[in-house]
Structure 1
């Protein structure tokens, strides 16, 4: 039986013929009846009934905890709490063999993303940073999971820059020399001073990708503000927490303010953001639009989650491809525009997520070498 019939049953949308098919399936076995009860329990009463914010808060009760993304116990707790809470209901492979649509077996396992980056020093030399490899020089230290600059090393001198590049399948955490903390998402690149000049604007550049900033207050740096440059946009702050998303594949730069205040600057135009709002700077038209958003949805990646709130399958596949370092080709363009809501734990196999999507019968997936085809 198609899974969509179960969804229609939950929403009282079955035709007379479909109701007969459902009743026959339901009466066949206790396994079917239990499966249906499990779907109801985890699904709710409508496709739009998922409150992502509530689900997120249940998963992440301490959003403000520093470096939460990289705490193993935290990851384990999230994994134990829930695998997926989505308009695609929770389904395990063992629930019902008739309804579980297997993803094609893989010759090479697609790995879950992990902590890794490449540090480019001021002399151009490149240092791979990953678990099990430590690196130290007079300005910084790294344990392979995070990078920390000497916070007592700021002085008036020639400014030298380092660059940190996070590949697909990676993430990283960095503490700049002024104490500002930065979480970097997959496929991102940031350029910043090794040391900041006291009293002057603390400028960093998000060359591309996505980063979350917890900025050290200007009161601790002789009033020096902090600025993030992304292409043609500048974000100016005094001390606050915000997220900047500026991927090369996007035609916009999204800046989401969590707390504090920031101003968005572009070619003489300045717009101020308040907490809970997001600006979208269109890189084609050079225009800025500000809207209220679900902050938890925008910064969920930092907490080890995929939060898909009214996202198309095309957008979902793009995020998955970055984290799992796999190319995903969409052959079924119509399915690519279907929208879903939900939250996934990032620290699980890609196959689990694809299986959940497959069980809606809206799309099928086939793996060919290191590429996923969505049909």
Structure 2
């Protein structure tokens, strides 16, 4: 069942056709009816926050007006943000049976903090600068207010090779504006290496050493046709001017590139594939095979907008994401629950306890917090 239909039913704005779909699902089983009542009850707690019917109408108008280009993900994002305002969460395990509520074990000795803006900047001479919210930094080449790092626009001779490295720890994130105007949202546990200034009329090339970053690339038309290349672990992404996300964490079994707008060419050794908006390339680390498939774009990039969006994701993958943002270790006492799949939307400014309790309330899993280690049971 599409979660949007459930919310529309609660607000009495289903079309006749949508109502048929909902009623068929609702009458199918007691599990479905219990789930609907659970969502309805939680929804009622935030009902006065926004006008849902107006919100849906506004989004529909925007979608209908947009006749060209792949920008529908932005309106999908508007829907996600709208409902995340009303509901702190929704968590869907339709096929689970109701079981007695489990009680988590919590042993707090070290405080678990919500992730924040912070990074380490390594300069050309090897010196390191800590960047964090509330503290400023400035040189003749770049400046930071503790939330973003912006490089001055200038051209340098071809022989210049000065590079900086920006490292984001677990529990951090940062926003970077490169010398050519390219914007980069850098996720937790990520390192990126780039020129302090790009050389005139030469290919602009940077390296995503590991981790995840979202790129809004300054068009080649503004740089005398100069292409932009992102290298990461044998993969090379060639772009002319576009928006895309690369995820290349060391503990993931694949490297993924998701195209939002424009076009890119993904090269992996002798293999190469063009991406179109709404598609994702994946390189399997064990086989080195490159495949392309359609994806839910916003589910892949919501992290940069302050949300965790989990769509049919395994508990194992969800806990990887949470471990990076909250800087905790995760262990599974019950290995069989790793592959349980869930759907959910969370704001990244929630405390970890809140998210874990929501997971626990599915009656599928329990957890234990001991210092900074989370054990899933």
Q: How would you bin the TM-score normalised by the shorter chain? A: 0.7 to 0.9
How high is the TM-score relative to the length of structure 1?
A: 0.78
Q: Determine which of 288, 291, 297 is the counterpart of 2:290.
A: 288
Distance 2:93 2:346 in 1: 11
Aligned to 1:202: 204
User: Does the Cα contact within 8 Å between 2:43 and 2:87 map onto a contact in 1?
Assistant: no
Aligned to 2:22: none
Aligned to 1:192: 194
Q: 1:40 to 1:190 in 2, by over 3 A?
A: closer
Q: 1:245 to 1:269 in 2, by over 3 A?
A: same
Distance 1:209 1:263 in 2: 20
Q: Determine which of 38, 41, 45 is the counterpart of 2:41.
A: 38
Unaligned runs of 5+ residues in structure 1 are 1-8, 23-33, 43-52, 62-77, 90-97
Q: 1:38 to 1:234 in 2, by over 3 A?
A: same
Distance 2:375 2:90 in 1: 24
Aligned to 2:48: none
Distance 1:58 1:342 in 2: 14
Q: Determine which of 230, 233, 242 is the counterpart of 1:231.
A: 233
Distance 2:39 2:304 in 1: 34
Distance 2:40 2:267 in 1: 52
Structure 2 residue 366 is matched with structure 1 residue 364: yes
* Residue 37 of structure 1: how far off its partner (Å): 5.1
Q: Determine which of 213, 216, 219 is the counterpart of 2:218.
A: 216
Over aligned residue pairs, what C-alpha RMSD do you find? 2.6
Distance 1:56 1:211 in 2: 18
Equivalent positions of 1:111-260 (< 5 A) are 111-260=113-262
Distance 2:38 2:234 in 1: 52
User: Does the Cα contact within 8 Å between 1:88 and 1:356 map onto a contact in 2?
Assistant: no
How high is the TM-score relative to the length of structure 2?
A: 0.78
Question: Match of 1:224, SS?
Answer: coil
Q: 1:37 to 1:172 in 2, by over 3 A?
A: closer
Please identify runs of 4+ aligned residues in structure 1 that moved more than 6 A. Answer: none
* Residue 58 of structure 1: how far off its partner (Å): 1.7
Q: What does the per-residue CA deviation read over 1:42-91, in whole Å, with 9 as the maximum and x for residues that have no partner?
A: 9xxxxxxxxxx787432447xxxxxxxxxxxxxxxx974431133169xx
User: Does the Cα contact within 8 Å between 1:103 and 1:355 map onto a contact in 2?
Assistant: no
Task: Count matched residues.
Answer: 317
Q: 1:374 to 1:152 in 2, by over 3 A?
A: same
Q: 1:362 to 1:176 in 2, by over 3 A?
A: same
* Residue 266 of structure 1: how far off its partner (Å): 1.7
Distance 2:76 2:108 in 1: 32
Question: Match of 1:104, SS?
Answer: strand
Moved more, 188-197 or 150-159: 150-159
Distance 1:369 1:269 in 2: 46
* Residue 152 of structure 1: how far off its partner (Å): 2.7
Distance 1:143 1:226 in 2: 27
Q: 1:11 to 1:170 in 2, by over 3 A?
A: farther
Distance 1:133 1:39 in 2: 40
Q: 1:293 to 1:79 in 2, by over 3 A?
A: closer
Unaligned runs of 5+ residues in structure 2 are 1-24, 46-72, 95-99
Moved more, 364-373 or 113-122: 364-373
* Residue 294 of structure 1: how far off its partner (Å): 0.4
Distance 2:197 2:153 in 1: 8
Aligned to 1:306: 308
User: Does the Cα contact within 8 Å between 1:60 and 1:303 map onto a contact in 2?
Assistant: no
Aligned to 1:58: 79
Distance 2:184 2:336 in 1: 37
* Residue 109 of structure 1: how far off its partner (Å): 2.3
* Residue 103 of structure 1: how far off its partner (Å): 5.4
User: Does the Cα contact within 8 Å between 1:226 and 1:238 map onto a contact in 2?
Assistant: yes
* Residue 11 of structure 1: how far off its partner (Å): 7.0
Question: Match of 1:301, SS?
Answer: helix
Structure 2 residue 88 is matched with structure 1 residue 83: yes
